[in-house]
A and B are shown apart, each in its own frame.
Chain A
Amino acid sequence: MTTEVTTQPRRAAQASQKRKFMIEAIAVIAIALILIVLMPMLLTGFRLNLLGRFLALAIVALGIDLIWGFTGLLSLGHGIFFALGGYAFAMYLELNTLGEGQLPEFFGLYGVTEMPLFWQPFNSFPFTLLAIFLIPAIVAGLLGYLVFRNRIRGVYFSILTQAALVVFFNFFNGQQKLINGTNGLKTSTSMFMGQQVGSDGMRMFFYISTVIALIAMYALCRWLTSGRFGRMLVAIRDDENRVRFSGYDPTAYKVLVFAVSGAIAGVAGALYTVQSGIISPQVMDIAFSIEMVIWVAVGGRATLVGAILGAVLVNMARSLLSERFPDVWLFFQGALFLIVVTALPDGIIGWGRRQFGSAVSSTLGLAPTNLPYLDDSPEPEAVVETPEFADK
């Protein structure tokens, strides 16, 4: 497939590119309109709220796809960034609801009479908005720098992010006096722009914000992965040493992309928090962060659409299945992990492209699709790593 694309005349390829872009833009706008206009009419308030949450989770999935699908870094600690974004927004809401000089209610339970210093800046809305992006980005950047600087990668990176997750969980869980520990912060009864966050109007507002943020993040990731930067990420994934020997510095790229991914997770966390009404250290549960990875895998790695699709589908399945048969859900989820890893390594999108890809693209008059994971070899990791492993 690859050879066909490259040997085609350049102009034709460009035209095809342009056409592809147009089609994609139209599709995105159409989906956005469906989500914003049609869905509220079709779904009850409860289901719409669920959909909003799933879309927020789809934003995290985008972030994971960016670092895992494209860069090959499997983070098991994205719960941290998700939580940081959520806490930042929840703290602002908590303070926004209070009058002058009042303390959040939970401080009374633990005999705290003075607001801890780090709460103060969250009185300001602009600061909070920045914090939702920046705090997770900075934490991710720092963690990434410490890890990547030493060329820790592969599974070590995964295990370390998981350890970092445990650290953050214990910290947030143990510091009742600073951040209300296990109970977390509630947002439904807080005020935002003069309205209750849990009210129907506000919910609609946050739902639409989520759709818009999802599209913005999709555009960001799409832009990041389509150009030279994106090719660099894929190159790092496929052979980091060769990238280094070619004179590039993979560490900087990895730190940057990890920070971006953290920021995306932060946005998702903030939007998820206001729609679910609570942020607690439980989102830093080990299982939750691994689940995020499986959403991406189900949809299809290195296909941004796949990440969104996977997140929404898996969460929908969870919601429906656990309503009917709470026992079965774990079996189902476990099986999902196994199936995706063994039978469907390219996820739904990859499978769909294989089955129907050529038919679809020929009807639209496009060149065959360019799927990073499918192009070179069906299992790039196996091909790349087996010899290394074997002569160890």
Chain B
Amino acid sequence: MVTRFNRRKFLVYGSATLGTSMLLKACGGTTTTDTGEADGGTETAAADGETIKVGILHSLSGTMAISETTVVDAEMLAIKEINAAGGVLGKQIEAVTEDGASDWPTFAEKAEKLIDQDQVAVVFGCWTSASRKAVLPVFESKNHMLWYPVQYEGQECSQNIFYTGAAPNQQIEPAVDWLLENKSKDFFLVGSDYVFPRTANTIIKEQLAAKGGNTVGEDYLPLGNTEVTPIITKIKAALPDGGVIFNSLNGDSNVAFFKQLQGAGMGPDQYPVMSVSVAEEEVRQIGTEFLTGHLASWNYFQTVETPENEKWVADFKAEFGDDRVTNDPMEAAYIMVYLWKQAVEAAGTTDIPEVRTAAYGQEMAAPEGPVTMNPNHHLSKTVRIGEVMDDGMFNILWETDGPIDPEPWNQFVPDTIGFACDWSDPAKGGKFEI
């Protein structure tokens, strides 16, 4: 009896409490006023004083630290070089480093801190698409500027982000074309379970359908998963006589995948794997024994033969040690600092809108060859396909004649066919029909 009464009482009181708190919440809205916080706008004192502050926002801890710390090294090298050569607008650059901790909300929090608290002139940062998507609203609502150095899935064109990695038409699409021509028409798609592989594979499937290839299967591994036996069985069942494996796995899973692929007796002659997230640094961690003969598509390899690259690789090794390697995201991170510097010097100020406009058309003789910043905030870049050699470097099998212009909105996906992006013209903006 007693307990029953009490339980009922609890329910009554409980629902009353819930109701009250709801009411309070609903009423709260009318009482709130704008406190008019002086949230440092965009044209604040970043350039005042002796130095220009720039933000560096990458994961220094957590799962993504593996990749992102190398990019930080490249950015720091560029800043050091620029400072040694006299800085920007006669001032030294001061880097404020923040740790995104491989956690997307933390990225958003730290981005806010860099903009509001430290009042940086620009932020260089992010690696995963998820982290970029998490900070995007911050940069848009504060009208600030982010430079993003990693190849990604496209389908985005923000006025507040400059993308110095490849768009899909500068990495994935040429790779698929090349494979169709040189390897096989049957593709199995393997990826990590997050947005880049999913979107990339959507594009690949559309492209294959348009060009006469077949998607015989696809599968996704959770990040960090190392049990790939079921996937290998699926590949064998779907491609009994060999074919292309298109791999957009990320991080740890790559190691397990390549080790066990070899264990299952599936070599590069019959099952060539084309990777879009495996560069020199990853090759080093996976082990060349498992990778020799497999393929990768990037804009930059350490083996690219340009005088700029020779100098860069030498400088990098002098700074961080002989056993270090350079790769595509690092190169993109390195050149984006320089491109920002050029834009600031062209604008004569660090104010965001002026720098943004001045960035369009900036050219640079990058280690990967000439690059140009387009009004759609992406770089024109050369595309290359390389094969892993015994020493862990890539033998460049094929490259485009010159830089390819970026297409942020994909031209194979039905939703975005016929769309483009041009921020130099206010009438066009982020997504307009050509």
Contacts and interface: CB of A to CB of B under 8 A. Distances in A.
A–B contact via C-beta, under 8 angstroms: yes
Interface of A: 40, 44-46, 48-50, 53, 108-111, 129, 133, 170, 173-174, 176, 180-184, 186, 188-189, 193, 196, 198-201, 204-205, 208-209, 212-213, 216-217, 219-220, 223-224, 227-229, 248, 256, 260, 276-278, 280, 282-283, 285, 322-323, 326-327, 329-330
Interface in B102-119: 103-105, 108-109, 112-113, 116-117
A232 to B, nearest CB: 8
A184 B150 CA distance: 20
Interface of B: 2-3, 6-7, 10, 13-14, 17-18, 20-22, 24-25, 28-29, 31-37, 39, 60-61, 98-99, 101, 103-105, 108-109, 112-113, 116-117, 128-130, 133-134, 136-138, 140-141, 153, 155, 193-195, 198-199, 202, 220, 222, 413-416
Nearest to A50: B109
Contact of A228 (B6, B117, B140, B413): B6
A182 B194 contact: yes
A119 B6 CA distance: 37
Contacts of B14: 220, 260
Given A46-B113, A181-B193, A327-B61, A278 B24 contact: no
A323 B198 contact: no
B137 A188 contact: yes
Given A111-B415, A186-B134, A186-B137, A201 B28 contact: no
A133 B117 CA distance: 35
Nearest to B133: A183
B10 A229 contact: yes
Main secondary structure of the interface of A (DSSP, over half): helix
B433 to A, nearest CB: 15
Main secondary structure of the interface of B (DSSP, over half): helix
Nearest to B142: A198
13 contacts: A45-B39, A46-B112, A111-B202, A111-B413, A173-B194, A196-B141, A199-B141, A205-B32, A227-B6, A228-B2, A282-B105, A285-B103, A330-B61
Given A45-B39, A223-B17, A260-B14, 13 more contacts: A50-B109, A108-B416, A109-B198, A129-B25, A133-B18, A181-B194, A184-B104, A184-B130, A204-B34, A209-B28, A256-B7, A282-B104, A322-B101
A323 B25 CA distance: 33
Contact of B6 (A50, A180, A208, A229): A229
B108 A216 contact: no
B220 A280 contact: no
Contacts of A227: 6
Contact of A189 (B116, B117, B137, B413): B137
A208 B31 CA distance: 10
A200 B130 contact: no
B198 A329 contact: no
A90 to B, nearest CB: 12
B20 to A, nearest CB: 7
A204 B32 contact: yes
A183 B24 contact: no
B112 A278 contact: no
Contacts of B39: 44-46, 200
A229 to B, nearest CB: 6
Contacts of A45: 37, 39, 116
B35 A183 contact: no
A220 B195 contact: no
A219 B35 contact: no
Given A109-B155, A205-B29, A208-B28, A248 B3 contact: yes
Contacts of B222: 170, 173-174
Contacts of A329: 61
B285 to A, nearest CB: 21
Contacts of B105: 276-278, 280, 282-283
B137 A212 contact: no
Contacts of B130: 182-184, 280
Nearest to A207: B32
Contacts of B25: 129, 209, 212-213
A326 B101 contact: yes
A198 B137 contact: yes
B220 to A, nearest CB: 7
Contact of B138 (A181, A188, A199, A205): A188
B37 A200 contact: yes
Nearest to B113: A46
